[in-house]
């Protein structure tokens, strides 16, 4: 869980973001860092597609290349937004923590507020994890169907997105106990396991296809 900052993280330079990450401020933290890493991975996928579109060698994959570029660009934007959403989610939890708790009625109000904030703080990284899965799926789709000179960038994208997925998944799990809802916690915990397994499988398939260096057939229309 993380505290919101005034300026969106997307407006910071890379150096400024890293400097803030290294500071004693609570944000950006692991959740935002994971989302930014995922955005970079998506950017790499979009780049590979861009370097392949319009080239005669990849004309049979043109439709997939164009669609994947658009999808990856959208995923990069989504992940940058999630970096801020993660910080906002912590801000809500931090505010709930400061609620008065002297009287029984105040304690109840605080308890309900904390559980609601923890729920929100679980759902944001879950969205980031879903985006990571989509990013590695896009990378896998391009492996063997895009510019061979940029194939290693797909491998890097898969590594970044997989690491970001693990970071996002950890953030989901750490917030679940505070929701006070065992059913919700079990449901999201299972969802995290499924998404991490899918992400890992797709990331491995991407790297295997890149390492093989063999052209792959066009995907069905």
Question: Does residue 20 belong to any structural domain of this protein?
Answer: no
Instruction: Return d(Cα 101, Cα 158) in angstroms, integer.
Output: 46
Residue 219 lies in a domain: no
Q: What pTM, to 2 d.p., does this model score?
A: 0.94
How many distinct structural domains can be found in the chain? 1
Please tell me the total number of residues recorded for the chain in this structure: 221
The model's pLDDT over 7-43, given as tens digits with 9 standing for 90+, comes to: 899 999 999 999 999 999 887 889 999 999 999 999 9
Residue 105 covered by a domain: yes
Distance CA 83, CA 35 (A): 5
Q: The domain that contains 120 carries what CATH number?
A: 1.20.120.680
Question: Is 16 domain-assigned?
Answer: no
Host domain of residue 149: 27-212
Residues 199-208 pLDDT 10s:
999 999 999 9
Residue 91's pLDDT is: 87
SS (H, E, C) the chain: CCCCCCCCHHHCCHHHHHHHHHCCCCCCCHHHHHHHHHHHHHHHHHHHHHCCCCCHHHHHHHHHHHHHHHHHHHHHHHHHHHHHHHHHHHHHHHHHHCCCCCCHHHHHHHHHHHHHHHHHHHHHHHHHHHHHHHHHHHHHHHCCCCCHHHHHHHHHHHHHHHHHHHHHHHHHHHHHHHHCCHHHHHHHHHHHHHHHHHHHHHHHHHHHHHHHCCCCCCCCC
**C-alpha torsion sign, points 139, 143, 148, 153:** positive
Which residues are CB-neighbours of 42 under 8 A, at least 6 positions away? 72, 73, 75, 76, 79, 131, 135, 138, 157, 161
> Does residue 6 sit within a domain?
no
- Residue 7: predicted pLDDT: 84
Name the average pLDDT for the chain: 95
- The residue behind tokens 């164009």 is 66
Residue 174: predicted pLDDT = 96
Q: Tell me what pLDDT residue 3 has.
A: 40
pLDDT for the residue 6: 65
Tell me if 74 is assigned to some domain: yes
Task: Determine, yes or no, domain membership for 3.
Answer: no
How do residues 64-122 score in pLDDT, each as one tens digit? Answer: 999 999 999 999 999 999 999 999 998 899 899 999 999 999 999 999 999 999 999 99
Task: Report yes or no on 9 lying in a domain.
Answer: no
- pLDDT at position 221 is 74
* Residue-level pLDDT at 47: 98
């Amino acid at each position: 869980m993380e505290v919101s900052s005034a300026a969106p993280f997307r407006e910071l330079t890379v150096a400024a973001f890293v400097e803030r990450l290294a500071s004693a401020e609570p944000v950006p933290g692991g959740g935002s860092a994971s989302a930014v890493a995922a955005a970079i991975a998506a950017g790499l996928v979009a780049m590979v597609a861009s370097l392949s579109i319009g080239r005669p060698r990849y004309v049979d994959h043109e439709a997939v290349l164009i669609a994947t570029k658009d999808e990856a660009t959208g995923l990069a934007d989504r992940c940058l937004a999630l970096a801020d959403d993660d910080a906002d989610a912590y801000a809500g939890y931090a505010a709930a923590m400061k609620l008065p708790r002297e009287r029984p009625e105040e304690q109840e109000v605080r308890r309900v507020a904390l559980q609601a904030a923890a729920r929100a703080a679980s759902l944001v990284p879950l969205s980031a994890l879903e985006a990571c899965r989509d990013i590695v799926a896009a990378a896998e789709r391009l492996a063997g169907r895009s510019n061979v000179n940029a194939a290693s960038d797909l491998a890097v994208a898969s590594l970044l997105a997989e690491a970001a997925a693990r970071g996002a998944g950890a953030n989901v799990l750490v917030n679940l106990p505070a929701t006070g809802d065992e059913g919700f916690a079990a449901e999201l915990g299972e969802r995290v396991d499924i998404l991490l397994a899918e992400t890992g499988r797709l990331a491995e398939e991407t790297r295997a296809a890149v390492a093989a260096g063999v052209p792959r057939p066009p995907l069905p229309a």
